[in-house]
Amino acid sequence: MGAAQTAMAGTSAFFDIHLEGRAYMFGDRVTVTDFAVGALSALALNPQSRMPLEGHANIIAWYQRLEAVPSWSITAPARLMEAAE
C-alpha cells in the first residue's frame, strides 16, 4: 500500500465514523461542506483510484446521496477520470 493509500485509510475511517447516522456531513441537509469534501473526494472514490474504501459504507452512501443532489450532478464531469487529466 502506497503512502497516499495509507493516509486515505486513516481519513476514511474518521469520515465513516463521523457519517454514522447522518445523511450529510452536518446532519440531514446538504451544506457547502459536503460540496467541498465531495469535490476533494471525487477522484479518490472512483474505483480506478484503488483507494481502500472497503468497510466504509457510510462514505459510499454519503457520496451516492451527494451525486443525487441536482446542483452537484449537473456540474459533475460526465466522465470523472477525464477531469483528472
Provide the CATH number for the domain around residue 33: 1.20.1050.10
Residue 20, pLDDT above cutoff 90: yes
pTM over 0.75: yes
> Taking the CB of residue 34, how many other CB atoms lie within 10 A of it?
21
Residue 30, pLDDT above cutoff 70: yes
Strand partners, 27: 24
pLDDT at 39: 84
Q: pLDDT band at 34, cuts 50/70/90?
A: very high
Q: How many domains does the chain have?
A: 1
Three-state SS at 24: strand
Residue 73, C-beta contacts closer than 8 angstroms, at least 6 positions apart: 67
pLDDT at 3: 80
Sole residue written with cell 464531469: 77
Domain extent for 57: 3-84
Residue 29, C-beta contacts closer than 8 angstroms, at least 6 positions apart: 23
